[in-house]
Structure 1
Amino acid sequence: MATSWKRTWSTAAAVTGALLVVAAVPGRSPEAVAAPSAPLPEAALTLLVGRAVEEGGEAGSAWCPVRTFRAEACGTWRERRVVATARGAGSLLRDPVAGRGETLPTDPGAPLEIALADERSGRLTDISVRDGHGRHLAGALGPEGTRWHNTEPLRAGEDYTVRVDAQDGAGTPVGVTMAFRTARPDGHANGPGGGGAGAPDDGKPGGAGPDGGRGAGAGGAERDRLTVDFGPRPGTYGAGEIVTAELSHPVPADDPEARARLEGALQVTSEPRVEGAWHWVDDSTLHFRPRTYWPAHTVVRVRSGLDGVRIGDHGYGGPSEPLQFTVGDRIEAVTDSAAHEMTVRRNGRVIRTIPVTTGKAGFLTRSGVKVILGKEYKVRMRGDTVGIKKGTKEFYDLPVFYATRVTWSGEYVHAAPWSVDAQGEENVSHGCTGMSTRDAAWFFETVREGDIVEVVNSGGARMAAFDNGFGDWNVDWRTWLSGSALATTTAAAGAEDSGPATPLAASRLRPTT
């Protein structure tokens, strides 16, 4: 079920009694707050800061469409008028609709919209929204520079600082800084005993109930928050490594808005920058990969921005451990089954050519790109584990050394001393890629998890994308993007402030001159 923007503002601090706290931009001289009837300074712009409110426990209407940014134009939509001045101080003007001291409860999924009161009076140049942890809130500026809105949801229980830079009609820079707080994710309203934005933040999952105890369901809400387990483990991996995200609770495909909100909060950054995207494997699993293999020596960072974010009807996100890993040299091993030969490259240069044997008729080796899943010095291989009956001529039960796994079902690159005479000449295996013990030992020591193993001209079935290892690279880019709830190409940036690998990458708008 889609969730509309039905939100509100709360008090920024209990001592202010105001919906917005307006202050001077740091490092600039403060200016006295003007009375509602006072004339505007010579260089100034009046801004509209909008939100939707909940009245009597009922949510407001949907987000106002473009060009209808006016109080009462969209049901319970509200606005505040704020003056941005040349010295960076701000004046909070009286809202003729919302009463003074209004402290309606905030839903942290609220839209935040900032616009010019008069679209001909100037333009917005930079909007920076940070939470109390220093994280930027992504947003988008309209093409004419007259309005801005957030493109990722606010987090529950957070203090936000909004810095607005603009230019008046003469090109004079003006600015203002505002602050507000969102309600906590336990469903309590703001105000006395509510545990919301207007109450002290004691770090507990709810305010006091009527009987002096904690609000009903608060502890359960904390336990039921959706979290993410990222993979792989920290370490160094090959250029084909896939980033995985396992959700603690499923988000079904029939709720695309919730999926998009969740996906947009899973942020991947890399040094150097790459193009990449998430793909939903199932209701509880996402994979992230670049458009092409990771460049050698890339540093990849993955984090969740879900903590405190409302995910439609699926509750709130909780805290998740971030991940960082490094990509080593780019190792690619390409086996041509028709030529009975494997070519191994490091960073594009051939470092070894190995005679091999692959799957014979009836046991053809899977074609396509696979990713090394692990290495096992010794493995016992039995035919009955892959459907070959004991007692038949094809049955085998062998100790195998230097086994490098490429599928969960048991396909390996390994030492096969019993087939040395066939290696480089014909395909005699039951599906694995066999080579001499010397070559297998070298391969075993050279590769790592995440390195690329590709098989061509085998005549075998194509490697499955998801159900037997990492066959993700066999999915063409257009199809990969179709598995994203955000349905767009993404870019992993070189640093946190450069933006996440989602369409919400523009977390800041740089000022223009």
Structure 2
Amino acid sequence: MNTSPRTRTVAGCIVLAMTLGSALAACGGDGNPLSAAPYDAADQISFNTPDDEDEKADPDKPLEITAEDSDGRITDVTAQDASGRHVAGELSADGTRWHSTSPLAADARYTVRVSTEDEDGAPGRKVLTFDTGKPLTKKGLDVTFGPRAGTYGVGQPITAELSKPVGDRAQRAIVERALRVESVPRADGGWHWVNDKELHYRPKEYWPAEATVRVRSELEGVKISDRLRGGRAKPLKLSIGDRVIAVADASSHQMTVYRNGKEIKKIPVTTGKPGFETRNGVKVVLGKEYYVRMRGTSIGIAEGSAESYDLPVYYATRVTWSGEYVHAAPWSVGSQGSANVSHGCVGMSTANAEWFFDTVREGDLVQVVNSEGNTMETFGNGFGDWNLTWQKWRKGSAILGGTPEAPDPEQAARLRPAAV
């Protein structure tokens, strides 16, 4: 039994309360030892951190706390560094040992708060601060978040580009746990590993309209492997605008535009003709270009052939890197609303294209339905992230398990010019 003065005082109060009854109030609260002020539990527990305050702890070793008093136990432990990063840990069933389960950061200051309980139920407390040493390796894994700060539509994924490849699943889990995304209002979501150097984050559903999204990394100084530690990352803040979704129906040759669930415009369109069918699926607006010169040679059409073209195109809203746009097509006005005659883009009158150009922003959504074309690529040709079910998306997480469903992005696709 703990024999500190504080413990004897609490025990004495209990005996007095049992004898006199009315003395309960004098002991404080209702007489339960848990109502007493916590005593200093320094003699009850031990840490595996250096005793010398000038000596720094090894960040590669887990933090361990042990109950030294056989009659006492640890009831709770919280540990965090100066930046607010919490250390995950596990407490044994008998309360005799707690150990960290997430890596400590190098060159960081930690504060540990330990709560204990003696055999009489009296609460103890100990607060410890310690510093970790500098990492032995200088190699750092830097993270670059995207897109740039600004206002986006509800379909905009978050990207995380890593400065070095991470292929091992356990190492990926360390990285993924340190990449934080917070949304107000809240939107549950998850990371998906596109390849060894790129992750995407999206909510289960689209972002809430008018949400604020903050992205940060807690990876700095954290050990990922024997030769790699987390590096720096600049945090990111995004504002989400209205929920704008345009649905282009290739069979009815109509595009319907919705804002926050309400139809705001119906536009006659033409989509890809046989052999050049428009991709089905959900696409995210990548950008807007007032003028684009589009050539058939950019999509493999031989110059001088019957399908060859070289046209100035205005009010072009890009939805794939390979050259699929929603744009003005004054040469096909006679077919808009009745036939599909384009080489893969969604064409409309100049007036309608200008309205669409002025209405949408990056991150808004264009969904093509009832086309004979393939489904939009998930990665590598823009953002086809929403074409994976939530179940398949979760399989791309190193924490939840599974293997990413999509291949490594084809970076060359970003360089391909446009189709009309």
Which category of TM-score, normalised to the shorter sequence, fits these structures?
0.7 to 0.9
Residue 274 of structure 2 is aligned to residue 361 of structure 1: yes
Structural mapping, 1:400-411, within 5 Å:
400-411=313-324
Amino acid at match of 2:207: W
Aligned to 1:91: 42
Residue 175 of structure 2 is aligned to residue 262 of structure 1: yes
Residue 368 of structure 2 is aligned to residue 455 of structure 1: yes
Amino acid at match of 1:246: E
Structural mapping, 1:186-197, within 5 Å:
187=136
Structural mapping, 1:381-420, within 5 Å:
381-420=294-333
Residue number among 451, 470, 494 corresponding to 2:383 in the alignment: 470
Deviations 1:67-118 (A, max 9, x none): xxxxxxxxxxxxxxxxxx9435342469799997699874313322446567
Residue 68 of structure 2 is aligned to residue 155 of structure 1: no
Per-residue deviation, 1:425: 0.6
The secondary structure found in structure 1 opposite 2:7 is coil
Structure 2 Cα separation of the partners of residues 153 and 99 of structure 1: 18
The secondary structure found in structure 2 opposite 1:442 is helix
Structure 2 Cα separation of the partners of residues 97 and 311 of structure 1: 22
Amino acid at match of 2:106: A
Structure 2 Cα separation of the partners of residues 335 and 407 of structure 1: 15
Q: 1:96 to 1:139 in 2, by over 3 A?
A: closer
Structural mapping, 1:206-217, within 5 Å:
none
Amino acid at match of 1:375: K
Q: Which runs of 5+ in 1 are unaligned?
A: 1-36, 45-84, 188-220, 490-513
Structure 1 Cα separation of the partners of residues 107 and 159 of structure 2: 28
Q: 1:412 to 1:176 in 2, by over 3 A?
A: same
The secondary structure found in structure 1 opposite 2:128 is strand
The secondary structure found in structure 2 opposite 1:134 is coil
Residue 150 of structure 2 is aligned to residue 235 of structure 1: yes
Q: 1:381 to 1:146 in 2, by over 3 A?
A: farther
Q: 1:338 to 1:39 in 2, by over 3 A?
A: same
Aligned to 1:246: 161
Per-residue deviation, 1:317: 1.4
Structure 2 Cα separation of the partners of residues 142 and 396 of structure 1: 72
More helix by share: 2
Amino acid at match of 1:163: R
Per-residue deviation, 1:379: 0.5
Per-residue deviation, 1:426: 0.9
RMSD value, Cα: 3.1
The secondary structure found in structure 1 opposite 2:326 is strand
Deviations 1:237-284 (A, max 9, x none): 0101011011111112xx211111111111111111121111111111
Structure 1 Cα separation of the partners of residues 218 and 41 of structure 2: 30
Deviations 1:443-501 (A, max 9, x none): 10111001111111101111111110000111111211111111179xxxxxxxxxxxx
Aligned to 2:415: none
Q: TM-score, normalised by structure 2?
A: 0.82
Per-residue deviation, 1:318: 1.5
Structure 1 Cα separation of the partners of residues 124 and 239 of structure 2: 43
Amino acid at match of 1:87: P
Structure 2 Cα separation of the partners of residues 97 and 407 of structure 1: 55
Amino acid at match of 2:7: E
Q: Contact conserved, 2:74 with 2:114, CA < 8 A, in 1?
A: no
Aligned to 1:42: 7
Structure 2 Cα separation of the partners of residues 329 and 168 of structure 1: 57
Structure 1 Cα separation of the partners of residues 244 and 47 of structure 2: 66
Structure 1 Cα separation of the partners of residues 352 and 49 of structure 2: 77
Aligned to 2:133: 183
Per-residue deviation, 1:316: 1.3
Residue number among 281, 288, 291 corresponding to 2:194 in the alignment: 281
Q: Contact conserved, 2:154 with 2:243, CA < 8 A, in 1?
A: yes
The secondary structure found in structure 2 opposite 1:107 is coil
Per-residue deviation, 1:174: 3.1
Amino acid at match of 2:329: A
Q: Contact conserved, 1:86 with 1:175, CA < 8 A, in 2?
A: no
Structure 1 Cα separation of the partners of residues 104 and 315 of structure 2: 51
Q: Which runs of 5+ in 2 are unaligned?
A: 10-35, 403-420
Q: 1:243 to 1:97 in 2, by over 3 A?
A: closer
Aligned to 2:140: 225
Aligned to 1:129: 79
Q: 1:156 to 1:92 in 2, by over 3 A?
A: farther
Structure 1 Cα separation of the partners of residues 272 and 93 of structure 2: 58
Amino acid at match of 1:132: A
Residue 63 of structure 2 is aligned to residue 112 of structure 1: yes
Structure 1 Cα separation of the partners of residues 295 and 280 of structure 2: 22
Over the matched positions of the two proteins, sequence identity in percent amounts to 54
Q: 1:262 to 1:94 in 2, by over 3 A?
A: closer
Per-residue deviation, 1:304: 1.0
Q: 1:131 to 1:384 in 2, by over 3 A?
A: same
Aligned to 2:338: 425
Amino acid at match of 2:75: L
Per-residue deviation, 1:141: 5.7
Amino acid at match of 1:152: S
Q: Which structure has the larger Rg over C-alpha atoms?
A: 2
Q: 1:170 to 1:342 in 2, by over 3 A?
A: farther
Q: 1:304 to 1:422 in 2, by over 3 A?
A: same
Q: TM-score, normalised by structure 1?
A: 0.67
Aligned to 2:244: 331
Per-residue deviation, 1:314: 4.0
Residue number among 340, 352, 367 corresponding to 2:253 in the alignment: 340
Deviations 1:155-195 (A, max 9, x none): 1011111112355566554322111211111x2xxxxxxxx
Deviations 1:405-430 (A, max 9, x none): 00000000001111111111111110
Amino acid at match of 1:278: W
Structure 1 Cα separation of the partners of residues 48 and 203 of structure 2: 49
Aligned to 1:434: 347
Per-residue deviation, 1:43: 8.1
Per-residue deviation, 1:134: 3.4
Aligned to 2:213: 300
